[in-house]
Structure 1
Amino acid sequence: MAGMNTSASTSLKIDFVSDVSCPWCAVGLGALEEALQTLKGQVQADLHFQPFELNPQMGPEGQDIGEHLAEKYGSTPEQQAQIRNTIRARGAEVGFEFNPAGRGRIWNTFDAHRLLRWAELEGAPGQQHALKRAFLAACHTRSEAMGHHDVLLACVREVGLDETRAQAILASDEFTKDVRERQQFYLQHGIHSVPAVIINDRHLISGGQPAAVFEQALRQIAAETA
């Protein structure tokens, strides 16, 4: 039939290294999803969410976001508001809604990473991806306390994962070693900012790039792979 694409789709392994508290990771994921939608039938993604903590030393009580950004980057409230507006506009382009008031507080995200690892290993296909999206919405759209177990468990419930199992994980140190090892692996391989999108273990796309950048890269890598 004229114009029909008869070529088989190329499967690409994609490791999305990120932190749920990172707004650019929400932007980058939305853009990657958009690119994959555009390339449907040509590229098939074997997508894995890998852990990275922007603030591994953050205490359980968290910290006011304005105070945190001023300490970490020396930014003023005006600069922070400007960056928030930029991020909100970039999120809107890929269908992700940011809370206009920002995140409120920054939290320790280690338990979220443990649950993401569990979802990858024990969940059904697509459930890790769904949980990641639920965490990003809880953090950036609703400004919820990402260090609080009730917030994490509400996300688990939302995506249809086993809440009782999740509670048992949070009450133990299950997946702690696993997550620490994954984090070390990426740090040792030069990943020091996120999102970092690694395709087929060798191609790196850094930052919350627009969908067109992901599309072009995926198209090129798929052609080389095929």
Structure 2
Amino acid sequence: MPSPDPRPTVQIDVVSDVVCPWCIVGFHQLDAALKQENVLARLRWHPFELNPSMGPEGQNLREHIAEKYGLTPEQSHQARERLTALGAELGFTFNFTDDSRIVNTFAAHQLLDWAETKGRQHPLKLALFDAYFTRQQDVSDVDVLLGAVETAGLDTVAARAALESGAHAQPVREKQRFWTSRGISGVPSMVFEGKYLLTGAQGADTYAQVLQRCLAEAA
């Protein structure tokens, strides 16, 4: 029997959406900080929908950004270029194109809620990020979702049944309300040990400082 990992562990709750590029950037920055500090994380992902009213047809990403944030096409292009470069530095590939689309993520969050009961939420979350940003797949499409489920090592038949039953719809809504009622209005939002909140992708150094503080308080 392997001996337990001697590294200290910190509880980290991450409120996130799978179509939020800064969420995957923030995760990789956090992961770098964890490795830097030689710390393990009890990581839990929580649902947040950037566009809860997005229809099933989705919307062109450039058009959506222009409407929602008022960015010009050039500003939008520069933002995507910045994200692509930052992702490359962190080992994550963004493949934005002129045809990239923003889509509804409620079904994805339901599957993430289901996957948590199977102990495989984190692998599914990463598979969904990869499907959407790297493979440019529609993560509102059931077949795409089930492909991510399979990548995460989960049963696709059980996943489809969980989605079709609607059993996780209400729990996801309740979790969304829980976090918004506590002032969470943007993602990623990371809560360390239930008391330190950082919003946005803050960088590995900032995350390392918070990890150090948590460890010092636990000592």
Q: Which 5+ residue runs of structure 1 have no aligned equivalent?
A: 1-7
Cα pair 1:103 1:139 within 8 Å, conserved: no
Instruction: State the distance in 1 between where 2:211 and 2:95 align.
Output: 30
Task: Give the whole-Å Cα distance in 2 for the aligned partners of 1:225 and 1:106.
Answer: 41
Match of 2:75 in 1: 79
Question: What pairs with 1:60-79 in structure 2 (closer than 5 Å)?
Answer: 60-79=56-75
Equivalent residue letter for 2:63: E
Residues 102, 180 of structure 1: alpha-carbon distance in 2 compared, 3 angstrom cutoff: farther
Alpha-carbon shift at residue 39 of structure 1 (Å): 2.2
* CA offsets 1:117-150 (integer angstroms, 9 cap, x no match): 1111223xxx211111110011111111111000
What is the deviation of 1:102?
Answer: 6.6
Aligned to 1:184: 177
1:195 aligns with 2:193: no
1:103 and 1:140 in contact (8 A); partners too: no
CA contact under 8 A between 1:102 and 1:143: conserved in structure 2?
A: no
Which residue matches 2:23?
25
Equivalent residue, structure 2, for 1:116: 112
Q: Deviations over 1:84-127 (max 9, x none)?
A: 0111111112111100427711100011111111111223xxx2
Deviation at 1:9, TM superposition (A): 3.5
Conserved? CA contact 2:127–2:148, under 8 Å = yes
- SS of the residue aligned with 1:205? strand
RMSD: 1.3
1:200 is aligned with what amino acid? E
Q: Equivalent residues in 2 for 1:37-186 (5 A)? A: 37-40=35-38, 43-101=39-97, 104-123=100-119, 127-186=120-179
Aligned residue pairs total 214
5 Å-filtered alignment, 1:215-226, equals 215-226=208-219
Q: TM-score, normalised by structure 2?
A: 0.94
Partners in 2 of 1:167 and 1:199 — Cα distance?
33
Contact in 1 for aligned 2:96/2:133 (Cα 8 Å): no
CA distance in 1, matches of 2:43, 2:50: 21
| One-letter amino acid matched to 2:56 | P
* TM-score, normalised via structure 1 length: 0.91
Equivalent residue for 1:5?
none
**Shift in Å, 1:74:** 1.2
Deviations 1:167-191 (A, max 9, x none): 1012121111111111001101011
> What percentage of aligned pairs have identical amino acids?
48
Q: Residue 206 in 1 paired to residue 199 in 2? A: yes
Provide closer, same or farther for how the CA distance between residues 102 and 35 of structure 1 changes in structure 2, counting only shifts above 3 A. farther
SS at match of 2:9: strand
